[in-house]
Amino acid sequence: MKNNQNPSITSLFKLFNAPLHLSNLLSLTLFFLFGLCFGIILTFHLKNVQFNLQFTQFNSTAGADAGSGNGNGNISVPVTSPPPAPERVGLKTYLTPEKMMHDMTDEELIWRASVVPKVREYPYPRTPKVAFMFLTRGPVVLSEMWEMFFKGYDGLFTIYVHSSDSSANVTVPEDSVFYGRRIPSKEVEWGKVNMIEAERRLLANALLDFSNQRFVLLSEACIPLFNFSTVYTYLMNSKHNFVESYDLEGPVGRGRYSPKMAPIVDIEEWRKGSQWFEMDRDLAVEVISDKKYFSVFHDFCDGQCYADEHYLPTFVTKLFGETNSNRTLTFVDWAKGGPHPTKYNRNDVTEEFLQKLRNDRSCEYNGKKNQICHLFARKFTSHALDRLLRIAPKLMQFNL
């Protein structure tokens, strides 16, 4: 009975006491230690994995700073309010380019600007603007007068300056309407075909802004003859474009035509006119998209041909004649003869003189007689600026 009382203990005791089973005991102990170590290592490892997992998840979801987890796995969760609803972008970046300076090539620019929406109704309240495009050698020397002209009419105009002289840019103060309005420009030689390229570059840059509806080309020697509201109303309500165009016999007219231009341009289709144009959006797109006529002028009307006086008048009259008024809005005086028009200096600028330019005769406007023939005038030198600033704002009723 005594022996049977605890058989398991007896057998265990037997086991301990039996020298035969000593090796068995050792292996058991080793096995136990090994298991213990394995367990410890595994636990530690798993803990690490879990920590890493948590850390990675946190990092990728909340984008938190990697330093926010400490050695204890204590990760401080930053208390953030839910992110504000992102501001709606909609068409914003598409309708108005953010920066004047871009790195598109002329070819890329013209292609992009020639894109016309097939849906002609705008899906947003569109306020039509006038694009004032200044083709200059250096700075816009009469800019102070233009500043007064534009004052109070933000949102109704956009300014573009093509200036071959890049140093012109540095002199523009930050609060000027001309600040940062220079477009990527290239060399321009007066009379050369690259002048037309500059005009196309101005048109194309201005077309990128879908609100621009009328496009006027000006030089640094141009001044406005009326206040902004008169100019804006006149242009917006016009049913016609203003590209001067006439047929002229003699050396400075048909004499500049080259028979090599036939059959794309015949001599009867050859026209002359001032380069200072004003046109609507539809015609502007047609002008920049033209390759056929432009390449003919490029090849056969460079240098003494003065392509800028013939390309647009010929192109517009041949293809879009019925949309054209055939006159220019920019007054210039060729009465003295010679290759250059009259320049106006300080002493030329009087109230009577400016008044004469404003209402010297009457012109046809939308099929009716109108007191206004010209909205702009040239050529004024920088010496005339003082007097202009003194006389013009009052005479022209600027909004000051």
Ligand X SMILES: *[C@@H]1O[C@H](CO)[C@@H](O)[C@H](O)[C@H]1NC(C)=O
Q: How far is the CB of 350 from ligand X (least distance, A)?
A: 19
- Asked if residue 60 binds ligand X (CB under 6 A), the reply is yes
Which 3-state string (H, E, C) describes 316-381?
A: HHHHHHHHECCCCCEECCCCCCCCCCCCECHHHCCHHHHHHHHCCCCEEECCEEECCCCCEECCEC
Q: Which of 205, 227, 328, 330 binds ligand X (CB under 6 A)?
A: 227
- Cis (ω within 30 of 0) for the bond into 14? no
Among 43, 48, 76, 295, binds ligand X (CB under 6 A): 76
Site for ligand X, residues 229 to 248, rule: CB under 6 A: 229-230, 240
Is residue 183 a contact partner of residue 100, using CB atoms and an 8 Å limit? yes
Quick one: which segment of 10-18, 128-136, 304-312, 314-322 binds ligand X (CB under 6 A)? 314-322
Smallest separation (angstroms) from ligand X to the CB of 237: 15
The least CB distance from residue 178 to ligand X, in Å, is 10
Nearest to 132 by CA among 222, 239, 225, 233: 222
Phi-psi map region of 338: left, alpha, beta (phi>0 left; psi -120 to 50 alpha): left
> Tokens at residue 153, please?
């009419």
Part in contact with ligand X (CB under 6 A); list of ranges 11-19, 125-133, 221-229, 252-260: 221-229
- State yes or no: residue 355 binds ligand X (CB under 6 A): no
Q: Which amino acid is at 236?
A: M
Residue 90 or 180: the one with the smaller Cβ distance to ligand X is 180
Stretch that binds ligand X, among 128-136, 227-235, 249-257, 328-336 (CB under 6 A): 227-235
Q: Is 226 in the site for ligand X (CB under 6 A)?
A: yes
Q: CA 266 from chain center: how many Å?
A: 38
d(CA 385, CA 59): 63
Unique residue bearing structure tokens 């083709």 = 135
Report if residue 397 touches ligand X, rule: CB under 6 A: yes
Binding to ligand X (CB under 6 A): which residues in 252-311? none
d(CA 94, CA 106): 19
- Token pair 């000006």 is at which residue? 218
Contact code string over 84-103 relative to ligand X, x by CB under 6 A: -----------------x--
Q: Interaction with ligand X in 156-185: which residues (CB under 6 A)? A: 166, 169, 180, 182
Chain residue whose CB lies nearest ligand X: 321
Check residue 321 for interaction with ligand X (CB under 6 A).
yes
Count residues near ligand X (CB under 6 A).
26
Smallest distance from ligand X to CB 227, Å: 4
Q: Quick check: 274 and 243 in contact, CB under 8 A?
A: no
CA proximity to 146, closest of 218, 212, 230: 218
Identified binder of ligand X from the candidate list 219, 325, 328, 330, rule CB under 6 A: 325
Q: Which is nearer to ligand X, 193 or 225 (CB)?
A: 225
Query: Considering beta carbons, is residue 213 or 317 the nearer one to ligand X?
Result: 317
For residues 208 and 97, the answer to whether their CB atoms sit within 8 Å is yes
* Residue 257 Cβ vs ligand X, minimum distance, rounded to whole Å: 17
For every residue of 258-273, DSSP letters joined together read -GGGTTTS-GGG--B-
Which is nearer to ligand X, 46 or 400 (by Cβ)? Answer: 400
Cα-based torsion angle of the residue sequence 374, 379, 385, 391 in order, rounded to the nearest 10 degrees? -30
Binding site for ligand X (CB under 6 A): 59-60, 63, 65-66, 72, 74, 76, 101, 166, 169, 180, 182, 226-227, 229-230, 240, 317, 321-322, 324-326, 397, 399
